[in-house]
Amino acid sequence: MHKTILFSILLAGVGNLAMAAEPRTAHTYQLADGEERPAVSLEVASWLAGSWTGNAFGQQFEAVWNPPSAGSMIGLFKLIGDDGVSFYEILMISVDEGTLSLKVKHFNADFTAWEDKADFVDFRLVKAEENALHFGGISFYRDGDDAMDGYIVMRNGEELTEHHLKYTRRSPDD
């Protein structure tokens, strides 16, 4: 399952290189032919900061994002199934050519990397809204201060499917 998810994520993230914000799936966007990526600062992603929990892929997850500092935001993601951890991710949002990129590195439960040492998945920003960030292949929608919805596109052959991640902010006491 993990390698299938990675392969699908890789394919979903690669197809957005030189295209502007047009719908890709019900909740995600891609660049239209000839369109440029939007010029934004890292501060547009600051609402992601915090500790989150939720559901995705029929399992529970935990996620944490630090606030913007030193030109980047770092995130951690852990998917937890009935048998323990399914996989981990280390994520980084940074400014790249005047816009944002979301870089992701995946790890098995034993912390062996899915990608080669120098490789990562690169989701490039295609659209920024007041309460939403749309990277090629993944979108985040803020729902007030304590909830957000994530949508990730996966490819299986020619078929694209959209998967929902429901986030709830953890209170400091959790």
Mean pLDDT by 10 residues, the chain (174 residues): 44 38 87 90 97 96 98 98 97 96 97 96 95 96 97 91 96 76
Does some domain include residue 8?
yes
Does some domain include residue 44?
yes
- For CA atoms 80, 85, 87, 91, give the dihedral sign: positive
Residue 16 has a pLDDT of: 35
52: nearest Cα among 113, 112, 136, 142: 142
Question: Which domain CATH number covers 96?
Answer: 2.40.128.20
Does some domain include residue 174?
no
137 contacts 29 by C-beta, under 8 angstroms: no
Residue 7 has a pLDDT of: 39
First to last CA, the chain: 30
The identity of residue 34, as a single letter, is G
C-alpha neighbours within 13 Å on the C-beta side of residue 143:
11
Domain count, the chain: 1
Domain that holds residue 163: 2-169
Give all strands (DSSP E) within 112-158, no chain letters: 121-129, 132-135, 138-142, 147-156
Does some domain include residue 69?
yes
Residue 12 has a pLDDT of: 41
Does some domain include residue 98?
yes
Which alpha helices (DSSP H) does the chain contain, by range? Answer: 2-14
Q: List 134's β-bridge partners, or say none.
A: 127, 139
CA 142 to chain centroid, in Å, comes to 13
Quote the pTM value. 0.85
Does some domain include residue 121?
yes
What pLDDT digit, counting tens, does each position of 146-165 carry? Answer: 999 999 999 888 898 999 99
Residue 15 has a pLDDT of: 38
- For CA atoms 78, 148, 161, 16, give the dihedral sign: negative
Residue 139 has a pLDDT of: 98
